[in-house]
Amino acid sequence: MLDSLRHSRAFTLLELLIVIAIIAILIALSLVALRGGLQRANEVRCLANLRQQLVGLTIMRAQQDDLIPIIAVEFDGAGKPRSLWKEFQRDWSAAVGQEPMRTVDGVFDSFGRQIWEVGPPWKCPGDRPGTRDDQFDPAYSVAEVSQTSYIYWPASYAFSALIRGVEHRAVQGFITRFWDADPRKEVLRDQNWFHRSGTRTFGNYGFIDGSAGSARLSPEDGREWVLRLVAARNAIPGTRPPGL
């Protein structure tokens, strides 16, 4: 027995290197599969966030005579406009059934912006720490600066009409008619640029019918839709408040 062991052949260096290389390849393949599974899981969670937010918007719309909710604007004594985003988000959180997002007392980013504590459904699971510029604020995600990972498009297009002094309900009616006329245009979108390099950009969309998924408009159709919306918005009669 001992004699046979003495004469057994040991592994050569080349064989050991081959075995190590095979193990490394298997580990790499496993990591790729794991990363792909994590990305798919994050995308599912992102879509769930969008659907949850859409439920809240539907509730808010029902409370506002079936008009799509928009963020109000108020003016100070000098006529300077201020977006009532916090109030809108508070109402949206209540409709969704979540606590409102909270500021982190005394913590600001490099630009002096307040840092917020952001969680689901307002923060996309694909977000990564750091701002769009790696040299600024590596401890925080952009979502924790701007309060949400998702864009609510009707609010974006309504704001300029509101600061021209157009009555809030008139702008709401205009926005509602435009989106109801073509439900292919999303009302919510995951903001791709929050995902850092090396991560998948989901590009998920939420629609007025409460569904969420991929884009329904081609890039060309989307640009045409936006041009028509902007032209129609700019044609709304209204006067500028003093000081603007």
- Is the model's pLDDT at 114 over the cut of 60? yes
Rg (CA), the chain: 26
pLDDT in tens, 143-179: 666 678 889 999 989 998 998 889 999 999 999 999 9
pLDDT value for 205: 94
C-alpha dihedral (47, 52, 55, 57), degrees to nearest 10: -90
Sequence-separated (6 or more) residues with CB below 8 Å from residue 142: 127, 130, 131, 132, 191, 193, 194
Residue 204 near residue 189 (C-beta atoms within 8 A):
yes
Cα–Cα distance, 209 to 180 (Å, whole number)? 9
Sequence-separated (6 or more) residues with CB below 8 Å from residue 59: 95
Cα–Cα distance, 161 to 167 (Å, whole number)? 9
Computed over every residue of the chain, the mean pLDDT equals 81
Cα–Cα distance, 80 to 74 (Å, whole number)? 8
Sequence-separated (6 or more) residues with CB below 8 Å from residue 150: 49, 50, 53, 122, 124, 188, 189, 190, 191, 206
